[in-house]
Amino acid sequence: MALKLLQRLSVGVHLGSVFPAAWPVCVACLHASAGRCIFTGGCRRLQPSRGTRSLTAVVRDPSFVGTLGDSAPRFRLTQRHGPADKDERDFHKRLNDCSSSSQVLKVLRSSTAVSDGAAAAALHRLADLEREEGENPCLRDPSVLEDHAVRALCLQLECDSRLLSDSALMSALLACTRLYIDPWSTLMVRLLSESQERLEGGDLSVSQLCTLGRAALAVEGSRGAMLAEVMAQIQKAAPSQWSLDELVAVYQLLRSGAALDGKYRDLLNTMHAHAVTVAPSMDEVAVSGLLGALKDLDQTQATPLVIQLCKRAVRHLPHFSDEQLAAVLAALMHFGHSDRYLVEALERRVSAAAFTCHPETLTKATQFLSRRNILSPAVLDAVAESFVYRADGYSTGQIARQIAPFGKLAYLPPNAGELFRKVESILRTRFSQFQPRTLLRLLHSCILVERFPVNFVSKVFSSFFLQQLQEEKNGMDRFVLAQLTQLYMTVKLECPFYEGPRLLPKYRVKSFLMPGHSLETTVEPQLDNSVKSGLVQLFGARSYFASKVLTPYCYTLDVEIKLDEEGYVLPASHQDVFKRIALCIDGQRRFSTNARRLLGSESIKQRHLQLLGYQVVQIPFYEFEQLRSKAAVSNYLHQKIFPHSYRLIW
Which of the residue ranges 64-68, 256-260, 286-290 would you say has the lowest mean pLDDT? 64-68
Q: For all residues of the chain together, what is the average pLDDT? A: 85
Q: What is the pLDDT of residue 647?
A: 53
Q: 599: how many CB neighbours lie within 10 A of its CB?
A: 22
Buried b (16+ CB within 10 A) or exposed e, 226-245: bbebbbebbeeeebeebeee
Q: How far apart are CA 75 and CA 156, in angstroms?
A: 7
What pLDDT is recorded for position 517?
A: 80
| 315 in Cβ contact with 309 (< 8 Å) | no
- Contact in structure between 259 and 268 (CB atoms under 8 Å): yes
Q: Where is 490: in which H helix or E strand?
A: helix 478-494
pLDDT given at position 305: 96
What is the rounded distance in angstroms from the CA atom of residue 56 to the CA atom of residue 79?
A: 5
pLDDT at 10 over 80: no
Q: Closest by alpha carbon to 444, among 391, 402, 404? A: 404
Place 3 in a pLDDT band, splitting at 50, 70 and 90.
very low
Residue range 281-302: mean pLDDT, rounded: 94
Asked if residue 307 has pLDDT above 80, the reply is yes
Tell me the CB-side half-sphere exposure of residue 368, using CA atoms within 13 A: 26
Q: How far apart are CA 382 and CA 334, in angstroms?
A: 24
Q: How confident is the model at residue 153 (pLDDT cuts 50, 70, 90)?
A: confident
For the chain, the residue count is: 650
Higher pLDDT, 161 or 535: 535
Measured CA to CA, the distance from residue 582 to residue 606 in angstroms comes to 9
Backbone angles phi, psi at 204, to 5 degrees: -75, 145
pLDDT of residue 68: 44
pLDDT > 80? residue 11: no
User: 534-570: buried (b, 16+ CB within 10 Å) or exposed (e) per residue?
Assistant: bbeebbeeeebbebeeebebbbbbbbbbbbeeeeebb
What share of the chain has pLDDT > 70, as a percent? 86
The predicted-structure confidence for 23-58, as pLDDT tens digits, reads as follows 333 333 333 333 333 333 333 333 333 333 333 444
Question: What single DSSP character describes residue 523?
Answer: P
Q: Is the pLDDT of residue 345 over 60?
A: yes
DSSP-based three-state secondary structure for 357: coil
Q: Are 380 and 418 in contact (CB under 8 A)?
A: no
Instruction: Name residues whose C-beta falls within 8 Å of residue 236's C-beta, 6 or more positions apart in sequence.
Output: none
pLDDT value at residue 646: 60
DSSP 560: E
Is-contact 542 599, C-beta < 8 A? no
Query: Containing H/E element for 405?
Result: helix 396-408
Contact in structure between 29 and 37 (CB atoms under 8 Å): yes
Determine contact, residues 644/548, Cβ cutoff 8 Å.
Answer: no
Question: Residue 333: what pLDDT?
Answer: 95
Mean pLDDT over residues 289-299, rounded? Answer: 94
Contact assessment for residue 251 and residue 296, using Cβ atoms and an 8 Å cutoff: no
All residues at 6 or more sequence positions from 464 whose CB lies less than 8 Å from its CB, including other chains: none
Cβ-proximal residues to 207 (8 Å cutoff; 6+ apart), any chain: 167, 245, 246, 249
Cβ neighbours of residue 355 under 8 Å, at least 6 residues apart?
385, 386, 389, 390
**pLDDT the model gives residue 436:** 93
Mean pLDDT of 460-485: 90
Residue 580 pairs with which residues in a beta bridge? 562
Q: Could you report the per-residue pLDDT of 363-419, keeping only the tens digit for each?
A: 999 999 999 999 999 999 999 999 999 999 999 999 999 999 999 999 999 999 999
